[in-house]
Structure 1
Amino acid sequence: MRKVIFEEFGGPEKLLLKDAPDLVPGEDQLLVAVEAAGVNYLDITQRSGASAVHVIKPPFVLGLEGVGRILAIGSGAENAKDGFKVGMRVAWIDAPSSYASQVLVPACRAIVVPDDLEAHQGLLFQALTAHYLVHEYRAIQPGDRVLVHAASGGLGQLLVQWFKHLGAFVVGTVSSEEKAETVRSVGADAVVIYGNTYDFKDQVLDLTQGKGVNLAIDGIGEKTLLNTISVLSRGGTAVAIGAASGPIPQITPTILTPKGLRLAGGAVFSWVADPVELKARAAQAIEGIEAGWLKLDAATSYPLDQASKAHEDIESRRSKGKIYLIP
C-alpha cells in the first residue's frame, strides 16, 4: 500500500508519499481499498500544528474521510446489521490515516453507499456537516434569512442548497466574482463579494432591508465573526464552525443581550458520535443527493502523490468545491 505521511509540523511540502505493508483488519474492523480520500480544512490545521481540538503527534498519516470498497472483514464485523461483504462500497468520515490506498474502518462507523454515486458524492464529511448545521440551530421556515460565509467551498455549496430546499432566503459570501458565479449556480438569492477586506456588513443589511439574518454560519473566524453577529436579526443565531482567517475572537456576552442573540459553536463529530445517529444523518444526505436537489458537482481530484498541491490550493483559496485524493 501507499500512504501520505508527515514527520514534522509545517507547510504542504512536509507531506511525503511512502510505501508501507498492507494492512490487516482487527476485530470489528473493515479493510477498505480507498477509492477517494477527502481533503478537509481540519487536515490543514493538523499538518501545520495549529489544530487545538484534534491534536496529533507526528509522524502521522492525515485524512479522516473517504469512500472505497471492502477488501477484508475482521472478526465480529461480519455480524454487523449492515451486512458487510467483501466488495461492498462504504464511506467514512472519522477513520484516521485515510490519505492512503488502504484504510481500516471500524464497522460501526462505515456507511454503506450506493454504487451509482460518483466518488466525490460518496465523500460525506461535508454533507454530514451541512446536515447538522441546517437542522440543529434553527427550525428553518420558508422566508427565514440565512447567511453562509465561504459559500463557494464544498460545505458552503451544500449549505446554500439545503437552506434553499427548506425555503430560506440565502445570502452567500465569497472572495471573488468567479466564486460568486458558483454560488449563484447552486441557488443563492444573493452573493456578497468581500474580497480581501471581508467587508460584508452593509451589503447584508441592505439585502435584508435592514432586518438582518435569522441564522449565520461562520467558518472564517477572526476577520468576520464580530460583523456576523452584528447582522443578526432579533433572536438570531451565529454558529462559529472554523477559523480560516485566524483565531475566533473573544466575545463579550453583553453584545448579545440587546437583541437576544445566540452564539453557538459547531463540530460535526459531536453530532455523529452515536453510530445510529451517524447513519441516520448519512441516509438523509444520500437521499438528497440521489433525489438531485443536493448537488455535489464542483469537485477537484489530485493523485495521492500531489497531496501537497491539494493543501496549497486550499490554503491559497484557489480551490472550489470538494477536494479529494485518488490513490
Structure 2
Amino acid sequence: MAQAQALGGAGCDVVFAGPRRSPAFRKAVEAGLPAAGVELLGAAFPLGLASLARLTGRMRFDAVCVHRSEDQSAAVIASGAPVVRVRSDIRRPSSGPLARLIDARTALVVFSSPFMLRNGYSRGRKGPVACIPAPVDTGRFVPPPRREPGTRIAAVGRLSEVKGHAALIRAVARVPSARLTIAGAPAQLSIRDLEALAGSLGAGDRVEVVGRVEDVAPLYREAFLGVVPSLASEAVSRVAGEMMASGLPVLAAATNSLVDMVLDGRTGLLHPPGDADTLAGQIGYLLANPGIALEMGAAARERCVRLYSRRAVAEAWIETLRGAGFGTHEGAGGEHGAVERGITPGSGFNREDVR
C-alpha cells in the first residue's frame, strides 16, 4: 500500500490488487487508488487466478509487483507481465524446487533492507536483485514547529517479547527523570504485564502503556526521544522511519534493518539488543544533553526525507525498473508504469476497467 501511494504520487499509473475485505484494500480505496479485488489465499486461489488473468487481459502492464509467495506464484502463472517480488520479511526465501522454478520466472527481486543482502537472502537467486527501502509518509510524520527539551520517550510496537519492551522499561527505571509511553496492540504480552514490570521496578508512575493507537503521529510529536528496542525481527522498521520523519533521535537495538537506518552517533544511538544498562546510559546522556538530542533529531529527519520519503523511494523504484528494462510500452498515458502487490498498467487506463 505504501509503495502504491509513493509510485502513484510520482506520476505512475497504479492499480492496487488484493482481498476486498483487507485493511490494505480499504486504505487503497480511501486514498483514491484504483483497486481490484483479487483473493489468493487458501481455497480462493483458483478463482483469484482467474480474476488476475481477466484483469491483466484487459489492461497493458509493465509489471506485476507482489509481496507474498501466493501472489508471486499467481502472477507468474496468470499475469503475462514481468513479475517483481518485494521481500520485506525476516523469514528467508524458500529454496525448494517449486520456489526455484517460480524464482526463475520472476524478473526482479527487490529486498527492503541492505542487511538482507549482507546475510545471504539473495543466495541462489540467478536473476537481478535490487535494494529499495519501504517509504515513509514524511508529510504526515513531521516534527512539531518547535521541540522543547523534555523527558518523554516514545516506543511503538506490538506487545511481544521480541519487541524488547522489557529491556526498555528496565532502562527507563534507571533514569529517574525519564518518562515512557508505550503504544502497541497486546500480543504475547498484555498491558498489565508491562505495567506490572514497571511497578516492580519502582517506575510505575513514569511508564504509561496505552495499547493500540490509531494515529501515532501526535505521540511522536510530543516525545523528545524515540526508542526501538527490538531483540530481533525488524526486517523493515516502519516505526524507526516514522520516528526519524518526526525529528526524533532514535535509540535503536543494533539488529537487522535498524543498523542501516540509524547512523550511530549522528541520527541516534545503537545499543546491543536487550542491553538495558547501555540503553539507560544513552537515555540519560541525551536527556542531560538536549542540544545533542535536537541535532540528532534534525539529522534523522533530513536522512529520512532524503532516503525514505515517498518521493525518494518512488524515484528509486522508477530508476530500478527502467534499468531492468521495464516500462517499454509506447503510448503511455502516465509518465511511468509501476505496481503494488498487484498491478500497474504501463499505459493510460479507464477506472471502469478495474473491477
TM-score by length of 1: 0.32
Higher relative contact order (CA 8 A, sep 6+): 2
TM-score by length of 2: 0.30
* Rg larger in structure: 2
Which structure features the higher share of helix residues?
2
Which structure features the higher share of strand residues?
1
